[in-house]
């Protein structure tokens, strides 16, 4: 029974496990977002933004608990090379990091003396630099943050180099940049634009940016794909370069050439996803009120040696 899948291309067939089912692991959030898998703890953290809390799913016993409340309306998360959680905080309008001692440390709050809008999603490049999107969703309303006046006058993608303290806007041609992810060799940065929420008729697309030889600047190249259902919000790239993207009714999977090769059907609006599990072959999906998962025959880009996984 492949009812949880829609296979549109043979390339998707080999990424699926025929008898693996979509599981709803938990429900009870208002807007689930920002999943991040913590290998050392064998748990998943994710955001429930309107309730201003982080939730934790324990892979060992399947339990869900509240990891933290009053967390500055955190949205997107990622891990750095040390296994620390890096977070986008809507109401504090900053990027922070959960240090090994258990305290959150603010990493960046301003650009050229102006406060960030409301950082949304974040990735860490292999050189340790932090790349993040900064749309206005967290300051648009009191639902996912706090109403506030934007100071920068645009929604950009930034690169932050903690070693030097330098932050630079690397993409300034999007309306509301949202999810982002590098290709496996980091030669491409993919960024979704959900600006149709603010500008009628704007394409709901994932854009392709080439990373320059210096590894610091970007050149716009093309559109990878446009979304026929809702928005591309968060997404991840697997080790073969396929893009696993959220949408209103499914996880949409695109080949690197932009072909929609398949969908994993989800009964709620999908916001984001990430690969987890000891072998990183479990796709965790945040969708509106719930956390879902499904086992797949795919692994995340940038994955080093892991028990049970051959390179």
Question: Model's pTM, two decimal places?
Answer: 0.96
Enumerate the known binding-site residues for a divalent metal cation: 33, 178, 233
Distance CA 296, CA 282 (A): 6
pLDDT confidence of residue 307:
45
pLDDT confidence of residue 105:
98
**What confidence category does residue 311 fall into, taking pLDDT thresholds of 50, 70 and 90?**
very low
pLDDT of 304 strictly over 60: no
Enumerate the known binding-site residues: 33, 120, 178, 233
Average pLDDT over the chain, rounded to whole?
Answer: 94
**What confidence category does residue 7 fall into, taking pLDDT thresholds of 50, 70 and 90?**
very high
Write the pLDDT tens digit of every residue in 98-157.
Answer: 999 999 999 999 999 999 999 999 999 999 999 999 999 999 888 888 999 999 999 999
Least confident window among 16-20, 65-69, 72-76: 16-20
Enumerate the known binding-site residues for substrate: 120
Give the mean pLDDT of 289-300.
97
**What confidence category does residue 1 fall into, taking pLDDT thresholds of 50, 70 and 90?**
very low
pLDDT confidence of residue 303:
65
Give the mean pLDDT of 71-79.
97
Q: Please give the positions annotated as active site.
A: 233
Domains located in the chain, CATH noted:
5-295 (2.120.10.30)
Give the mean pLDDT of 248-264.
97
């Amino acid at each position: 029974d492949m009812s949880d899948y829609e296979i549109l291309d043979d390339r998707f067939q080999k990424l699926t496990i025929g008898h693996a089912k979509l599981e709803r692991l938990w429900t009870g959030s208002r807007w689930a977002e920002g999943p991040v898998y913590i290998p050392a703890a064998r748990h998943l953290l994710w955001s429930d933004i309107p309730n201003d809390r982080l939730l934790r799913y324990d892979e060992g016993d399947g339990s869900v608990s509240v990891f933290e409340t009053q967390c500055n309306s955190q949205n997107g998360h990622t891990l750095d090379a040390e296994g620390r959680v890096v977070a986008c905080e809507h109401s504090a309008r900053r990027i922070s990091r959960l240090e090994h001692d258990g305290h959150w440390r603010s990493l960046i709050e301003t650009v050229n003396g102006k406060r960030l809008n409301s950082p949304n999603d974040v990735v860490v490049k292999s050189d340790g630099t932090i790349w993040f999107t900064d749309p206005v969703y967290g300051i648009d309303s009191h639902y996912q943050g706090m109403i506030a006046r934007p100071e920068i006058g645009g929604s950009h993608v930034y690169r932050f180099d903690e070693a030097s303290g330098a932050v630079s806007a690397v993409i300034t041609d999007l309306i509301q940049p949202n999810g982002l992810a590098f290709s496996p060799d980091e030669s491409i940065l993919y960024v979704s634009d959900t600006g149709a929420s603010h500008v009628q008729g704007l394409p709901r697309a994932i854009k392709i940016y080439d990373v320059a030889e210096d590894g610091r600047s970007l050149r716009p190249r093309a559109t990878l794909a446009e979304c026929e259902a809702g928005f591309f919000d968060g997404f991840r790239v697997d080790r073969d370069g396929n893009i696993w993207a959220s949408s209103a009714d499914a996880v949409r999977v695109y080949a690197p050439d932009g072909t929609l090769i398949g969908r994993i059907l989800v009964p709620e609006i999908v916001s984001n996803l990430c690969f987890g599990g000891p072998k990183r072959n479990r796709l965790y999906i945040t969708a509106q009120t719930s956390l879902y998962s499904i086992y797949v025959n795919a692994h995340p880009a940038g994955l080093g040696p892991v028990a049970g996984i051959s390179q």
